[in-house]
Amino acid sequence: MRIRVDVRDAPYEVYLGDGVRHEVGGFIAEHFARARMAVIITSPEIRRQPWFDFGIGIGFGVETTVIEVPDGEAAKTLASLEQVCEQLARHQVSRHDVVVGVGGGAITDLAGFAAAVYLRGVAVLQVPTSIVGQVDAAIGGKTAVNLAAGKNLVGAFHQPAGVWCDTATLVTLSERERVAGMGEVAKCWLLEGRTRAQLTDASMVELIELSVALKARIVAADEFETSGTRALLNYGHTLGHALELAALARNSDELRHGEAVAIGLAFAARLARALGRVGDDVVTQTDAVLDFFTLPRRCPRDLDLDEVIAVMARDKKAHHDLTFVLAGGEGYEVVAGIDARVVRGALEQFREA
């Protein structure tokens, strides 16, 4: 299955299905005839997985090298970026060669950023292996690392040459990662106006396909996040990011990104209702979709409302006021300048429920 991401300069495909990772070598041979080397960027944990069997160069005359980086979010540092670039230079990687990111969203973000800046840009092929990576992080060209001051504060737009979402890699995900990843899928399902009832017959491939197709459409419409269309993908993220930051400040991994997004989706439905934009049915549908995926949808009891509202107002995508993606009569839209008292009231009710 292929889904096209129609960005202006270099449109590319997302290949989705069982075993598509084995097509990467042929793609390189076909599209990068002058490539001498394919450099896989991954973590030791990912490299240990039974499906880590690319054979990219075999039969195609391309040498394959692996650069290991720390697992998960620890990969997304300027120090890792420097180490990756040093190793690319040591391997004499040229602009004809390709970088291949293999792993969760953290690794594809780092691999994409390294490819964006090494030699002022080499091609990157993404092989996301987590659900968040497949439906979100690896598509759309946003790459970044973190600073102590915050997540994703240093990065670049650098579209991949192709994305291979191999569902066979998902089997080794831990249950928690799998469920958390469904937070982004639930977001896409709701943004597409789908219901809980329609979920009953949906396969995993169909869920990923719907999410990839939505992301591809939105990225093509707003590649550099200038028109506001891309901000729709932040549905559930205003509160979600604030909850993640609060958990991070406590140095806790109690909340995965997708879990925070799920709670953010439940709240966004309630805020839309508090603003008179929608009725109870939207809250009921949202809760039912989140329950189907066994995602959390309750506000943490000990949430400091003043702190969370202050963080939401500072959100780098919020333009310094309270901005949410909300459901309404015309579908979903970005709503800026929401009265902090209304948000606080809805949060209080959400916390007590």
Ligand X SMILES: NC(=O)c1ccc[n+]([C@@H]2O[C@H](COP(=O)([O-])OP(=O)(O)OC[C@H]3O[C@@H](n4cnc5c(N)ncnc54)[C@H](O)[C@@H]3O)[C@@H](O)[C@H]2O)c1
Closest distance to ligand X from the beta carbon of 200 (Å): 26
Give the separation between CA 264 and CA 346, rounded to whole angstroms: 12
Map tokens 């960027």 to a residue: 41
The separation between CA 83 and the C-alpha centre of its own chain, rounded to angstroms, equals 24
Residues between 217 and 276 with contacts to ligand X, criterion CB under 6 A: 257
Closest distance to ligand X from the beta carbon of 206 (Å): 19
In this structure, the chain runs to a length of: 353
The separation between CA 40 and the C-alpha centre of its own chain, rounded to angstroms, equals 20
Evaluate whether 236 touches 326 at the Cβ level (below 8 Å).
no
Nearer to ligand X, 64 or 172 (CB): 172
Nearer to ligand X, 97 or 109 (CB): 109
Q: Is there binding between residue 49 and ligand X (CB under 6 A)? A: yes
Q: Is there binding between residue 169 and ligand X (CB under 6 A)? A: yes
- Which of 65, 83, 152, 229 binds ligand X (CB under 6 A)? It is 152
Q: Is there binding between residue 130 and ligand X (CB under 6 A)? A: yes
Q: Is there binding between residue 103 and ligand X (CB under 6 A)? A: yes
- Which of 142, 187, 237, 241 binds ligand X (CB under 6 A)? It is 142
Other C-beta atoms closer than 10 Å to the C-beta of 193 total 11
β-pairing, 12-17 with 162-166? Answer: parallel
β-pairing, 324-328 with 37-42? Answer: unpaired
From 127-135, 283-291, 304-312, 325-333, span contacting ligand X (CB under 6 A): 127-135
Residues between 65 and 84 with contacts to ligand X, criterion CB under 6 A: 71-73, 76
The separation between CA 192 and the C-alpha centre of its own chain, rounded to angstroms, equals 17
Give the separation between CA 60 and CA 83, rounded to whole angstroms: 28
Q: Which residues are near ligand X by CB under 6 A? A: 43, 45-46, 49, 71-73, 76, 103-107, 109, 129-130, 132-133, 136-137, 140, 142, 151-152, 169-170, 172-173, 177, 257
